Structure 1
Amino acid sequence: MSKLRDGIYGLAIADALGVPFEFKKRGTFTCTGMVGFGTWNQVSGTWSDDTSMTLATCKSIKDKNKIDLEDIRKNFEAWLFEGKFACHGETFDVGITTREALTEGHGIDDFYANGNGSLMRILPLAFTDARDEEIESVSSITHAHEISKKACLDYVHLARKLIAGEKLEELGLNHIKNKPEDEIQSTGFVLHTLEASFWCLLNTNSYKEAVLKAINLGDDTDTTGAVTGGLAGIIYGFDNFPKEWVDELKGKDLIDECIF
């Protein structure tokens, strides 16, 4: 079982867990497992744009055997405009910056365009030898501001350390671990998502605990879940995911087709 598969499945499962609860405020719900409907009225196990764009990135790397920005963009456009890489062949929950960038044909570098839309899909690059400039360029297909690019670099660098077998608790993140929950924000702002994902991982001891903690922070539940789940998948491995969640996950054939 490859670490890439652990990470991508970890991301997709957490994304699907979070989809029904997106935009709900912390404390108004409790996610304990895979359910359907809710915010987006999707059947249980349906993942969103987070996984779709991650798979679009994976498929380009698989097809081109390198980081090909134009091919990745082409896959993103196929997802947005044709439903390719979507769980049920139809897109939903598309971020404002992502839609604008793919419609206009260039990344958006405005400060207010620092949503988490490139962070949520950057994980596949951790499994390549992509240079920092390439990682930033893949972010910049949609999110071109320095804050978003730096967040993607930080995430990929951390993921690479975990892939190499380093322990999360030894990576100098205690300043995040020791924050109280009410100081952890789970909005769509990229730095909130990055910090929340690290905090959830540092304060739990299993894949299940980590992703449920992420989703139960509320607000941007699918993306906080996905960003956390990708790293938790690397740490704990596919065999430690709850079997019922794996069984309920939709689109597994598509996921397997895209993994390189």
Structure 2
Amino acid sequence: MFQHQALLRPAIYGVAVGDALGVPYEFMARGGFRCTDMVGYGSHRQPAGTWSDDTSMTLATVDSLRQNDGRVDVDDMRRRFVMWLCDGMYAIDGNVFDCGITVREALRRGVGRDGERSNGNGSLMRILPLAFTDASDDEVRAVSAITHAHATSMDACVAYVHAARALLEGAGPREAATTAGYAGIWERPASAVRSTGYVLHTLPAALWCLTTTGSYADCVRAAVNLGDDTDTTAAVAGGLAAIRYHGGSGDVPRDWMGRLRGREIIESVLPA
């Protein structure tokens, strides 16, 4: 059903931990804070270890794939996204917060937004599970298009899935970034790395964090400390870093895993 299934659980937890690490700092300017540990409250007034829409929509994606034997069913996936948005499914305590405008409009209208200004990172943040399937590039684009139907967003999702698959096959971070079309990203100074909600800022920022650090914790801390869209940058980077460092000395810190909320929701959608 899933390829490299042994790494699916670590990857999803990598997304969730990165998301939770960044939630308290979202919208804060770079240099105005310093993330060193998993804390609570801050921007969204949530307890420590609380993840946001990034993880909820990722879990909905996994659940749809699991229920459909690893196949992409766009209608089923959309239905699960709507259940999250309207009913709080896949959300901690049923509490939906931090949902982007494009996602909300697309799900309420039943059609992905395809304008140039609809290129936020709301499909990139949830696309990682497709790396564990044999989904084609066009199927990846179709999943993005549930909410983000502009070519820029769809192609960014394809690039991210390619990077994740490279890591799953044993590639190093720099090789994976090159596979995604970002050769040399690690040579950029931090000042040249932007971390807004624009999809073409989030993807290279996540790859920069992956290729300039040597552990999961350092990668997601670097992502959060870039500022602005801290939770999504860390979620996108965290999924990749968890694949890269799983089982080694650079793996997700146990104390962060211990403080993560909503683990029962995560476990409920993962294959046995």
Q: Which residue of 1 aligns with 2:257?
A: 246
Q: Which residue of 2 aligns with 1:100?
A: 105
CA contact (8 A) 1:23 1:219 kept: yes
Q: Which residue of 1 aligns with 2:10?
A: 6
Q: Distance in 2 between matches of 1:125 and 1:88?
A: 26
Does residue 256 in structure 1 map to residue 261 in structure 2?
no
CA contact (8 A) 1:16 1:48 kept: yes
Name the SS for the 1:219 alignment partner: coil
Alignment of 1:139-154 (within 5 A): 139-154=144-159
Q: Distance in 2 between matches of 1:175 and 1:198?
A: 10
AA aligned to 1:90 is N
Of the candidates 67, 76, 100, which is equivalent to residue 72 of structure 2? Answer: 67
CA contact (8 A) 1:186 1:219 kept: yes
Does residue 128 in structure 1 map to residue 133 in structure 2?
yes
> What is the total number of aligned residue pairs between the two structures?
260
Q: Distance in 1 between matches of 2:97 and 2:173?
A: 33
Of the candidates 67, 78, 87, which is equivalent to residue 82 of structure 1? Answer: 87
CA contact (8 A) 1:10 1:238 kept: no
| Offset at residue 170 of structure 1 (A) | 3.1
| Offset at residue 48 of structure 1 (A) | 0.1
Q: Which residue of 1 aligns with 2:197?
A: 188
| Offset at residue 87 of structure 1 (A) | 1.6
Q: Which residue of 2 aligns with 1:233?
A: 242
Q: Distance in 1 between matches of 2:118 and 2:168?
A: 30
Deviates more, 1:45-54 or 1:166-175: 166-175
Q: Distance in 2 between matches of 1:107 and 1:100?
A: 8
| Offset at residue 90 of structure 1 (A) | 1.2
AA aligned to 1:242 is P
AA aligned to 1:130 is A
| Offset at residue 174 of structure 1 (A) | 4.4
Q: Distance in 1 between matches of 2:252 and 2:106?
A: 35
Deviates more, 1:163-172 or 1:199-208: 163-172
AA aligned to 1:59 is D
| Offset at residue 168 of structure 1 (A) | 1.8
Q: Unpaired segments of 5 or more residues in structure 1? A: none
Q: Unpaired segments of 5 or more residues in structure 2? A: none
Q: Deviations over 1:20-54 (max 9, x none)?
A: 00000000000111111110000110000000000
Of the candidates 198, 211, 214, which is equivalent to residue 220 of structure 2? Answer: 211
Q: Distance in 1 between matches of 2:175 and 2:219?
A: 18
Of the candidates 36, 47, 53, which is equivalent to residue 49 of structure 1? Answer: 53
Q: Deviations over 1:61-106 (max 9, x none)?
A: 1111111111100000000000000022110000000000001110
AA aligned to 2:220 is V
Q: Which residue of 2 aligns with 1:27?
A: 31
CA contact (8 A) 1:6 1:238 kept: no
Q: Distance in 2 between matches of 1:76 and 1:126?
A: 19
Quote the sequence identity (%): 53
How has the CA–CA distance of structure 1 residues 48 and 166 changed in structure 2, closer, same or farther, with 3 Å as cutoff? same
Please tell me the root mean square deviation across aligned C-alpha atoms, in Å.
1.1
Q: Deviations over 1:7-27 (max 9, x none)?
A: 100000000000000000000
**TM-score, with normalisation over the residues of structure 2?**
0.94
Bigger relative contact order, structure 1 or 2 (CA pairs below 8 A, ≥6 apart): 1
Q: Distance in 1 between matches of 2:121 and 2:253?
A: 27
